[in-house]
Amino acid sequence: MSERCKEILERTYLFLDGEGLSVQERIEIEAHLEDCGPCLEAYGVEREVVTVLIARLRHHAPCPDGLKERISVLLEEA
d(C-alpha 28, C-alpha 9), whole Å: 12
Residue 44 has pLDDT above 80, yes or no: no
**CB 28 within 8 Å of CB 59:** no
| CATH assignment at residue 56 | 1.10.10
Q: Which residue has the higher pLDDT, 3 or 46?
A: 3
Q: Taking Cα atoms as reference points, which of 44, 36, 49 lies closest to residue 2?
A: 36
Structurally, the chain folds into a number of domains equal to 1
Range of the domain at 65: 3-77
What is the model's pTM? 0.54
